Amino acid sequence: MSLLGVEHLDARHGLLHAVRGVSFAIDSGEILALVGANGAGKTTLLRTIAGAHRPAAGRIVFEGADVTAIPTYQRLRAGIALVPEGRRLFAGMTVKEHLQVAGAYGRPGPWTIDAVVAAFPLLRQRLNSRAGNLSGGEQQATAIGRALMTNPKLLLLDEVSLGLAPIAVEAVYRSIDTLIKGGATIILVEQDIGRALGVATRVSCMLEGRIILEGNAKDMTREQVTEAYFGLQRARQASA
């Protein structure tokens, strides 16, 4: 049985049909990279899985249970945690306070403040710093650490490299690699195709709300993904 099953999922923003008939499954320990241009529907898909956006149609099944209609906090306690695009931290709260609050509302498990600091060493000297005073990389590490404190079975990472300096991206991805080696199950939204192919076991490319290319990362070339990313394959077919 798959850890997560998404079945014919539709999601809308008013008249905008953001996610169109998306279906896929992910097993424990898999890393699924979702790639695609801005507006492809990636963020809406993650938010719908996490319960932050209501689907217009379709089903979301987690560990064999239909969670389509249950609220976000219940999905969190079931083991689905979202790290949102833009981090969404509280500027006046310290790193430690973010972690403590998340831990109080999550599931029991191995993730503690010490475990988060071990995975994200750049936070070691920043636990008592307010989020508003952190660098972009430190904020992203805090946002991921906050999600880990809920002890998720499925971690949804939305645009973790967005807006970060290259050195910060490297630090964050070193820590993500630690999570992957520890057996984490992750759906990663990433616009950097090279990074997506480098960490994922599977890749799905979205265009205009649909998954138009998917497969094992080791079997895909950068050129294939790039063509799907920009819709070049569809454009050639239309002109043929």
Q: Is 42 in contact with 53 (CB distance < 8 Å)? A: no
Domain span at residue 75 reads 4-85+153-239
If pLDDT is split at 50, 70 and 90, which confidence band does 232 have? low
Q: Residue 148 domain-assigned?
A: no
Q: Residue 204 domain-assigned?
A: yes
Give the domain CATH number at 58. 3.40.50.300
> For the chain, how many structural domains are there in total?
1
d(CA 209, CA 40): 5
Q: Residue 100 domain-assigned?
A: no
pTM across the whole model: 0.92
Residue of 8, 15, 63, 5 lying closest to 211 (CA atoms): 8
Q: Residue 109 domain-assigned?
A: no
Tens of pLDDT, residues 58-109 = 999 999 999 999 999 999 999 999 999 888 999 999 999 999 999 998 899 9
Q: Is the pLDDT of residue 10 over 50?
A: yes
